[in-house]
Amino acid sequence: MVLERILLQTIKFDLQVEHPYRFLLRYATQLKGDKHKVQRLVQMAWTFVNDSLCTTVALQWEPQIIAVAVMYLAGRLSKLDIQD
């Protein structure tokens, strides 16, 4: 019980965590290029968001930053050249 109280105090009793999915989809609509490649990038980024939920990333960073980071990572791994 003591550890649970410490955890709640650490996160300042903020139990509502906004997820990056909404931002990921919003940013994805701005991407230009081959639709198939963009779709593959977004699917890979979505998987990274899923995996990030098993960590403390959602508590450490804003969802907008996570969305941009997973899109960047997916772009690098899929070798898709993202233009502005």
One-letter-per-residue 3-state SS of 52-65: HCCCCHHHHCCHHH
For tokens 């509502």, name the residue.
Answer: 16
pLDDT at 11: 75
Domains, in order of start, for the chain: 17-78 (1.10.472.10)
pTM of the model: 0.77
pLDDT at 9: 83
Sign, CA dihedral 55-7-63-18, equals: positive
pLDDT at 59: 81
Using a 10 angstrom Cβ sphere, with 0-12 exposed, 13-18 middle and 19 or more buried, the burial of residue 17 is exposed
Does residue 84 surpass a pLDDT of 60? no
